[in-house]
A and B are shown apart, each in its own frame.
Chain A
Amino acid sequence: MATTPKPRVRVPKSAAAGEVIVLKTLISHEMESGQRKDKDGKTIPRKIINKFTCEFNGQPVFSCDLDPAISANPYFEFSAKVTESGTFKLTWVDDDGSVYTDEQKIEVA
């Protein structure tokens, strides 16, 4: 899938204060490892998402570095405790400098 990477994110629309919610994210990306060779024997340059972060109202929630052994279309599932309404901002950083982002609002009652 050599199309522009497109994130999919699932966050509950609402939650109770102090509730632990589960966030799921998936992004389409080929995660080319840099170890493979093309038909002419030339190395296919590495192109992976190397960093993923999630912030809530500007505060870090989760982040990780990705390495070449991670397979295509990386999927993350993690949980967070929410105490106030706000916005999750999710960011994927590509080797070529591209940044893919997604924002999800949540209402906390």
Chain B
Amino acid sequence: MNRRLFAAHSALLLIVASITGKAVLADPVDDSLQIDGTEIITRAPAPEGLPFDQVLSGWLFREAETRATEADSFANPGMLAVERGAEIWNTVEGTMGKSCASCHQDAAKTMKDVGAHYPKWDAASGKPLNVELRINKCRVDNMGAEPYKFDDPNQLALTSYIKHQSLGTPVGIDLSQGQMQSWWDRGKELYYTRTGQLNLACASCHEGATGKYIRADHLSQGQVNGFPTYRFNTAGMVSLHNRFRGCIRDTRAEMPAAFSDELMALEVYVTWRGTGLSVETPSVRQ
């Protein structure tokens, strides 16, 4: 082989590597997650239509200490919210003198795997409902209680408790019900639409730059299988719509209200993007 040509080739490869940013990639780690003996799927084949082969849990992009905190359900501070949720589950509230348990009995049985399939189409309200809105509907219709305000600590705790009953179950939502498909379409449009003074779409970071640094942080695929999530930076539980709003705020755009049609459509679409990943609630992130 021509020696000089070979050298030139190697040099070119090096240049290509530095342009594509290989050197600064904070790649997803090669690690596996079990929580209390339950295998957690952190890599799954990507659903048809996504530009990557695998969908990856945000857990793979976190520091070793953060990953270890989630892997140990005792050390995971998000479990405090789950325990609080269990108390709420059994607390009677509202004019009809009922608790969640009055109708749904033991959540470990009746709520098993339920959270993995939300948002779900609700014919009565003509829109998809997530777990938070489903709880509120139940409180109003069946308990005669006040609906929770957005990010009420009790809403976070009860949502975490219900989703935790699906720990390990792969996420999968049914788009064939009602008009779920058109909400998915709308969510997809929002996902790829650049907004704000920084002119960023969700896809700019979470699709085009996965694994790279954003300032000192690692960009994940922005999967939502672990929500509500415990974040060290706020030392508390963070709901999905809070996270959406935070991200949108950071692009310096106007934030849609929590549970607005925009964010519900986005939740439908982004949840679908994580099809096959296990529910990790309460996940731990930095």
Which A residues contact B (CB, under 8 angstroms)? 1-3, 6, 8, 10, 24, 26, 28, 31, 71-73, 75, 77
A102 to chain B, nearest CB (A): 14
A-B contacts, 17 of them at CB < 8 A, read A1-B153, A1-B236, A3-B153, A6-B80, A8-B80, A24-B74, A24-B75, A26-B75, A26-B77, A26-B80, A28-B77, A28-B84, A72-B77, A72-B235, A73-B77, A73-B80, A75-B77
Say whether B77 contacts A3, CB under 8 Å. no
Which B residues contact A (CB, under 8 angstroms)? 74-75, 77, 79-81, 83-84, 153, 232, 235-236
| A8–B81 CA distance with the chains assembled, in angstroms | 12
Contact of A3 among B74, B84, B236 (CB under 8 A): B84
A17 to chain B, nearest CB (A): 25
Closest to B233 in A: A71
Closest to B154 in A: A3
| A2–B156 CA distance with the chains assembled, in angstroms | 13
Contacts of B232 in A (CB 8 A): 71
A91 to chain B, nearest CB (A): 19
| A31–B232 CA distance with the chains assembled, in angstroms | 13
Closest to B234 in A: A72
Closest to A74 in B: B77
Contacts of A10 in B (CB 8 A): 74
| A1–B84 CA distance with the chains assembled, in angstroms | 9
Contacts of A72 in B (CB 8 A): 77, 235-236
- Say whether, besides A1-B84, A3-B84, A6-B80, A71 and B74 are in contact (CB < 8 Å): no
B117 to chain A, nearest CB (A): 28
Say whether B80 contacts A75, CB under 8 Å. no
Closest to B235 in A: A72
Task: Identify the interface centre among A1, A2, A10, A72: most chain B CB within 10 Å of its CB.
Answer: A1
Contacts of B74 in A (CB 8 A): 8, 10, 24, 26
A30 to chain B, nearest CB (A): 8
Closest to B156 in A: A1
Contacts of B153 in A (CB 8 A): 1-3
Contacts of A77 in B (CB 8 A): 75
Contacts of B77 in A (CB 8 A): 26, 28, 72-73, 75
Closest to A30 in B: B235
The 8 closest A-B pairs by CB, nearest first: A72-B235, A73-B77, A28-B80, A10-B74, A71-B235, A24-B74, A1-B153, A75-B75
Contacts of A1 in B (CB 8 A): 80-81, 84, 153, 236
| A26–B77 CA distance with the chains assembled, in angstroms | 8
B85 to chain A, nearest CB (A): 11
B91 to chain A, nearest CB (A): 12
| A106–B96 CA distance with the chains assembled, in angstroms | 45
Closest to A31 in B: B235
| A28–B87 CA distance with the chains assembled, in angstroms | 15
A44 to chain B, nearest CB (A): 15
B131 to chain A, nearest CB (A): 19
B229 to chain A, nearest CB (A): 15
| A2–B84 CA distance with the chains assembled, in angstroms | 11
Contacts of A75 in B (CB 8 A): 75, 77
B244 to chain A, nearest CB (A): 22
A36 to chain B, nearest CB (A): 12
